[in-house]
Amino acid sequence: MLLDAIFRMVPKTFAIVGMGLLGGSLAGALRRSFPRAEVIGVSRSHTNIKIACQKKLITKGTTQIKDAVQVADLVFICTPVDTISKLILEVDRYAKLGTVVTDVGSTKGALINWVLQRKFKNISFTGSHPMAGSHTTGVFHATPSLYRDSLVFVTKHHGIQRNALRLVTAVWKKLCRKVVLVNAERHDALVAQISHLPHLVAAALVEGTPSQSLAFASTGFFDTTRIALGDPQLWVPIVMTNRQNLIRLLGRFRSSISQIEAWLRHGQAQKLTQFLKKAALRRQNLHRK
């Protein structure tokens, strides 16, 4: 079987659709880990392709998705989450039979549900989500080391082709610290907690603070609100595709804020101490500070 062959071999040709921070960094990482492979960058922007070439992130660039995809063994879609399904269809139209396709989007539930209702002509798809990124965006900030210390989620779903899963997992293992297999539903619940809720909370903190007060903000405030720098064009589709989880979490978070208010209102210093002690201890126990 073709996929078996691909898996036994080192992939020869990667196509990266989308030359932003994530796509550019991924391309650069693939070039490092697979020095003999062709790494083709696809972007609608000539400028982005030019920058990716200058930074030696890709071996070739094109504005035509067809040109890249028809020769690729593995295709990464590195565009905002609300564009991925449309691009999967386009990749399927031009790809060789047996091409494996994955993405780097931050939510998985809606996408995998959509995938499960499709029958692709040529490709098999499995989702990826590297827990890396930055408040910077664009290929200009891309760096081959972006994923080195990250965790990458790879989604399992019903009817997934085992070889596709193996290939995607094997390639990520070369690029990152750890690969975790997870189903899409669990994935979205998890990232809602550790990434999407903190993002909304950080934005609410900034928006709740008058500008004349922000002028006095210090390192603590800067750290707490750094993720609010993230690009809303990327974040809104992420939040919107994970809104069921987020609505639930925001409600719970509000209750926890109410609880703190009640302790303050009733002067319950001891309850507050217990709460802050537990939080400090649990935060301390995270392996990276």
Applying the rule CB under 8 A, the residues between 129 and 148 that interact with a second copy are: 131-133
Closer residue to a second copy, CB minimum distance, 13 or 225: 225
- 228 secondary structure, DSSP code: G
Cβ distance to a second copy smaller for residue 5 or 276: 276
Residues 87-126 within binding reach of a second copy (CB under 8 A): none
- 21 binds a second copy, rule: CB under 8 A: no
Q: Is 181 in the site for a second copy (CB under 8 A)?
A: no
Residue 264 in contact with a second copy, rule: CB under 8 A: yes
Angle at 199 between CA 195 and CA 205, to 5 degrees: 145
Q: How far apart are CA 237 and CA 146, in angstroms?
A: 22
At 241, list the tokens.
């595709």
| Number of residues in contact with a second copy under rule CB under 8 A | 83
x-or-dash string of contact with a second copy, 224-243, rule CB under 8 A: xxxxxxxxxx-xxx-xx--x
Shortest Cβ 62–a second copy spacing (Å): 31
Q: CB–CB of 74/102 below 8 Å? A: yes
Distances (CA, A) of 9 to 4, 29, 58, 170: 8, 19, 21, 11
Between 119 and 282, CB nearer to a second copy: 282
The sign of the torsion formed by the CA atoms of 250, 252, 258, 264 equals negative
Q: Is 202 in the site for a second copy (CB under 8 A)?
A: yes
Q: Does the footprint of a second copy cover residue 177 (CB under 8 A)?
A: no
Binding of a second copy by 183 (CB under 8 A):
no
Q: Rule CB under 8 A: is residue 162 a binding residue for a second copy?
A: no
DSSP strands (E only) in 53-149:
60-62, 74-77, 99-103, 123-125, 128-130
